[in-house]
Amino acid sequence: MKLGVIGLPNVGKSTLFNALTHAGAESANYPFCTIEPNVGMVNVPDERLNVLGKLYNTQKITPATIEFVDIAGLVKGASQGEGLGNKFLSHIREVDAILHVVRCFTNDNIIHVDGNINPARDIETINIELTLADLESLEKQIAKLARQANGGDKIARKKLETYEIIKDHLEKGLPARTAPLDREQKKYLEEAFMITSKPVIFVANVSPNQLDNSQDINVQTVKDIAKKENAEVITLCADIEAELSTLPPQDVEEYMREFGIKELGLNKLIKASYKLLGLISYLTAGEKECRAWTIKKGTLAPAAAGVIHTDFEKGFIKAEVVSYDNLVNCGSFNNAKEQGKVRMEGKDYEVQDGDVMLFRFNV
């Protein structure tokens, strides 16, 4: 899973990225300090792995990972080449979902590209540029499809009808992801590679004294906009998250209590991202390694096995499955078997979050 961190310059993108990834990306009080996108891999927090590690006395614990991409700040006119223009936009096309960081904090020492704090205007600026970029791309695709449809291509005609609906939607200033499409049309939308079709999480970046203010007007503005798009909002302070990322583990909890933080921003973002993309994790466990594997919700057992190795999917026979809770309660895999908690599942089994699985295959 690849998540793109976007927003206007000086909203705290690189600060948040560094807090999440410990990547040491440059963060400075001027626009475009990020030019090429910074990339960092982050482990997905999963306490279940630590419990299984103790249960199996395992040698190695391997969590699932998420890739964060810190993309250069976008400015008004980017779709026409302003700032880093199309270079920026091409980077967004490569991610699975977008974390849109919105500045909700006031700090006279950190300049705002438009002179003052206004989350609604800032979000609109980003959305307009992404929409204009999509319109330009879509118009080229429509012209090509029109030629194919005129030549009698039935699929091209269906696609063309879908893309005209999306174009009309974009021209109203609305993102492609909210266009009124049926299942077949949504498949065509995926093939169009629209930036605004990507799912979004809004990140309201606040100052420390805003964290305990649930009625903050700037945060509420972001929430109101997100609600119209059925998007989630994560409120955090990137500066505090950055500070927490430098502390030894034993000091983190005390620091969080001091600021009334119940959960790390990283954890909140990962949970929200998993939910947004419909992802779950299944687990494998043994003396050599306990590991989490990320799959789409609804994935069948053979395809889940294929995430480990393609041979597992090709030669899939069956899977021995026990839920994490049952395994822990029973104390061992053998005890779970004796108590009838381990199931034999075939090719039609839909893997569930927290399943501990042992695949049988023949190649």
Question: For residue 131, what is the domain's CATH number?
Answer: 3.40.50.300
pLDDT value, residue 76: 57
Domains: count for the chain: 2
Residue 288 lies in a domain: no
Provide the CATH number for the domain around residue 357.
Answer: 3.10.20.30
CB 285 within 8 A of CB 58: yes
Residue 280 lies in a domain: no
- Are 265 and 310 in the same domain? no
**Residues of the chain with pLDDT > 90: what percent?**
58
Q: Which of 71-80, 95-104, 178-187, 272-281 has the weakest average pLDDT?
A: 71-80
Q: Is the pLDDT of residue 209 over 60?
A: yes
Phi-psi region of 22 (alpha: psi -120 to 50; beta: other; left: phi over 0): left
- Are 221 and 113 in the same domain? yes
Final residue of a domain: which of 223, 242, 275? 275
- Are 326 and 244 in the same domain? no
Residue 30 lies in a domain: yes
Final residue of a domain: which of 212, 244, 275? 275
pLDDT digits (tens, 9 = 90+) for 3-43: 998 888 889 888 888 888 875 444 443 344 444 667 888 88
Residue 122 lies in a domain: yes
- Are 334 and 206 in the same domain? no
pLDDT value, residue 361: 92
- Are 257 and 326 in the same domain? no
Q: Alpha-carbon distance 81 to 194, whole Å?
A: 18
Within 10 A of 258 (CB to CB), how many other CB atoms are there?
10
Residue 40 lies in a domain: yes
Closest CA to 66 of 43, 48, 100: 43
- Are 229 and 328 in the same domain? no
Q: Is the pLDDT of residue 73 over 90?
A: no
pLDDT value, residue 87: 56
Q: How much helix, strand and coil, in percent to the nearest 5, is found in the chain?
A: 45, 20, 35
pLDDT category of residue 143 using cuts at 50, 70 and 90: very high
pLDDT category of residue 58 using cuts at 50, 70 and 90: very high
Residue range(s) defining the domain that contains residue 153: 2-275
For residues 174-197, give the mean pLDDT.
92
Closest CA to 104 of 199, 194, 224: 224
- Are 186 and 106 in the same domain? yes
Pairing mode of beta strands 2-6, 232-236 = unpaired
Q: Is the pLDDT of residue 62 over 70?
A: yes
Residue 289 lies in a domain: no
pLDDT digits (tens, 9 = 90+) for 210-221: 887 778 899 999
Closest CA to 232 of 330, 88, 97, 57: 97
Residue 293 lies in a domain: no
- Are 186 and 312 in the same domain? no
For residues 165-171, give the mean pLDDT.
95
CB 65 within 8 A of CB 43: yes
Residue 290 lies in a domain: no
Q: Is the pLDDT of residue 84 over 70?
A: no
For residues 273-300, give the mean pLDDT.
94
Q: Is the pLDDT of residue 333 over 60?
A: yes
